[in-house]
Structure 1
Amino acid sequence: MTAAGTTGSPSGPGAGADLETLSRVVGQVRSNIERVIEGKPDVVNSALVVLLAEGHLLIEDVPGVGKTTLSKALARSIDCTVRRIQFTPDLLPSDVTGVSIFNQNTREFEFRPGGVFANIVVGDEINRASPKTQSALLECMEERQVTVDTGTYQLEAPFMVIATQNPIEMEGTYALPEAQRDRFMARVSIGYPVEAAEIAMLDSRSASNPIDDLEPVTDAAEIRKLCAIVAQVYVSPAVQRYAVALTGATRRTDQLNLGASPRATLHLVRAAKAFAAIHARDYVLPDDLRTLARPVLAHRLLPSVESAMSGRSTMAILDALVAAVPVPEPQHRA
């Protein structure tokens, strides 16, 4: 096997069969989602990458383009526990994490779990709640646990937060704290549908909502197995250095006030492993990292005042930085 920037891929004897299983299940989930989200294969693929990389997904776009529909379609495609949290200005942190309530009968405090106690948590319009409430997700997103009073409660795997938000220019929104944005592995935008897809939507949704007819095509146990397969995907030392170089470039430029964190590097590599596995490869290519740089890194960056005043977007700055980082030379396994 020969791959750019790799030294070969040390795989076990069952790697091929594992990737076939992963490809089959991913295909079933993708087809299920595309029954309600038409003409957006890249967005659906990004959601599946984040799921298999054990990350969290932020869907940002204007109202009415299908953010919540995508979230619900992915959640319904997996036979696991799903909770939806409607982030409103009056939502409290305890509504998210849970609260201890005194039981008059037992004379003891009992923990009542909040909305995050599920395999997939759909956070609808997350930036309409206050930053204090948004911050209630910090611990559970990073450490897969919740601490309330003196008790710590583990969250069952798989655990994924799929949050939707409107652009911050919209009325009644709060900007997500930097620490919150950094915990989302990727941010995607759905965009408006093409004309043919919008016309088809008018026909398919005239009598009922097709999302109500979606049935699960896999379950939590199988998703855990697929995540374990993704974790075994090989990342060569050259590709690891390339990932560090990409994120390091965002920290050294004077065009950005805030560059990508070490967590961003971890997320970029984990997402690339899932991306490679979905494409039936047991090794990561530099092109995988370049493809994922925008969805994984852009939402973590803050442009400098000079860049903002000159009209340069964060995406344009990131694209230029990625283009300037040398790509590892192909290496051949002896």
Structure 2
Amino acid sequence: MRSRNLELPSKVIVCEVAPRDGFQAEAKWIPTENKVKIIRELAKTGLESMEVTSFVHPEAIPQLKDAEEVVRQVQDLEDLHFRALVPNVKGAQRAIDSGIKKLKLMLSATDSHSLSNANATVEDAQNRLEPIIDLAHKQNIIVGGSISVAFGCPYEGKVHVNQLIPIIKRYQKMGVSEISLADTTGMANPKQVYDTLGELKEEFPTITFSMHFHNTRGMAVANTVSALQQDVIHFDSSIAGLGGCPYAPGASGNVATEDLVHFLHESGMETGVNLESLTQTAENVRNMIGHDGGSYLLQAGPCSTLHRKPTAQQKIQINK
């Protein structure tokens, strides 16, 4: 039988999004000092990038009303590249004034999700991004785009690549060269991810794509493989599998960072992350918040964790 080698990148960059995507889904207030403690623990694991908070209106997501204070207290973590999600110019200015050097924009792939999330159609919502980008460029702040429900919408079903192309073209005209494709409610499948990225990378060879997979239906790692096969090396994940979109019915947590890093390491890819430290941090986060979002590593441990071999006497007892 002929064997075929699976060609995958040698290095992958993981962005931790729990301080934003994970925390926003928590109804119970997480004290600011606990948020800062978790961010500091994550910084020790070797992660390079983190989405540290969102500068949304406090009434929209009360959990993140302390965004300025959180950012202020982690400014000394210079080895971490921080970014923050911003919905409008006011939020962008708050982020910049707090010391954030990279902004991430909010946008949906479908009108239904956009109306739920931003109270505007996709076209109108994207028009509103222009002044944010202008503000950022004037202050030498990096801007990354995003497209939520990029593969499937809980209101409209499967999202075709043709719905993404005009959005990305508009982003490109605005001067945005990094775009995150989010599977917000875990509706993507590996073939769809591979085919969609194939078309998008051919259409937009200068755009850097990153993937934001939720594990709602257990497909996140399989979808990651498809993205890796298309030479995508930027992935978002959330410690302990926390997360979820408050404006998308059925949304659950992101792929757990420890599960993603374990998979990447077992497959021979480097991340610069210490898996043992990361898993311990995930356990600490679960204990602090009171639950996890479906982390396989917290349940079973890494493949390298072996169990004590049964003795001959134990085998005899089992066979009786």
Tell me which of the two structures has the higher relative contact order, counting C-alpha pairs closer than 8 angstroms and 6 or more residues apart.
1
